[in-house]
Structure 1
Amino acid sequence: MNNDNNSPLLLEKFLPYRLSYLSNIVGRRLATIYSEKFGIAPPEWKVLAHLNRFPDISAAEVADKTALDKVAVSRAVNSLLDKGLVERSYAREDRRRSILNLSDKGRETYNQIEPLVRDYESVLLNALDDEEKQDLDRLITKLTGRAEDSSSD
């Protein structure tokens, strides 16, 4: 990381680039895990995982929790509905607000994918000792908070 504004920008030292690069590598590997066997695209996996964790939420709430844009979430939800992995109902108090949940098939699919992605996470984290894992978690949390705070500027 280079904080000297007078020197040229070196992408390989530029934190946003490095985070994006790492995220792309990890994301591609994860996508291979769930797309080949289950036909699930990355945004669909994120929706499935969030509906598993937070049932009875709207597509807008999924977008907020995943940091995906609403169009990507809408496409993912429609695809998951078509695949029978998600069910949609409507709120009694506001028929315009849809409520999303995993279907039985969606829960079963999620339960098959989860151990596979956890195994990949373990492979990655095995590069770190326990203290480094704690440091990484703390630092990611801190940077995420800063990025969220600065996005409202």
Structure 2
Amino acid sequence: MSRLRLDEFLPYRLSIASNRVSSMVATTYQAMFGLRIPEWRLVAVLAEGDGMTQHALCGRTRMDKVSVSRAAIALAERGLVERSPNPGDQRSHLLRLSAEGRALYDQVAPKAIEIEARLLAAFEPGEIEQLRVMLTRLEDAAAQIEPDRG
């Protein structure tokens, strides 16, 4: 039987890498823009679309309902997100970036791209593409093993 070596166990290593990157990003976004990671994720996702329900945001961001709800409330209180009735389901609302939210996104997005470039600076372009492909395959494999319980 194989022996588990935590420092060689892929799920552990992915978690550690994710935590380190998230911590660094969180510190930057909080200091520069007053955003926590869940809030930034909602801003970024909403910037790509034309209104989403909190349920849809949970699926898109892979965050739980409580985290999405808290982030949405914080963004709405700051005037960065607007809520409107969902014509497809009166029990929910659509969230959209306000003009202020869009302006904030336009400030944060270049910083996010800069951080990503710094993280990937030690990689060759082919390695970066290979990493992206492998991450997609890992995400797909994980989805097959434990389907979304939405």
Q: Which TM-score band applies after superposition, normalised by the shorter structure? A: over 0.9
Structure 2 unaligned spans of 5+: none
Alignment RMSD: 1.3
1:87-98 to structure 2, matched below 5 A, reads: 87-98=82-93
Instruction: Work out whether 1:58 is the aligned partner of 2:14.
Output: no
1:30 match? 25
2:120 match? 125
How far, CA to CA, are the matches of 1:123 and 1:46 in structure 2?
20
Deviation at 1:93, TM superposition (A): 4.3
How far, CA to CA, are the matches of 2:97 and 2:117 in structure 1?
26
Structure 1 unaligned spans of 5+: none
2:147 match? 152
Instruction: Work out whether 1:99 is the aligned partner of 2:104.
Output: no
**Alignment identity in percent?**
39
1:67 match? 62
Q: TM-score, normalised by structure 1?
A: 0.92
Give the counterpart of 1:141 among 121, 129, 136. Answer: 136
How far, CA to CA, are the matches of 1:93 and 1:47 in structure 2?
21
- Pairs aligned (count): 148
How far, CA to CA, are the matches of 1:60 and 1:140 in structure 2?
24
Give the counterpart of 2:15 among 16, 20, 23. Answer: 20
Letter in 2 for 1:49: A
SS state at 1:101 partner:
strand
Instruction: Work out whether 1:6 is the aligned partner of 2:2.
Output: yes
How far, CA to CA, are the matches of 2:20 and 2:127 in structure 1?
20
1:79 match? 74
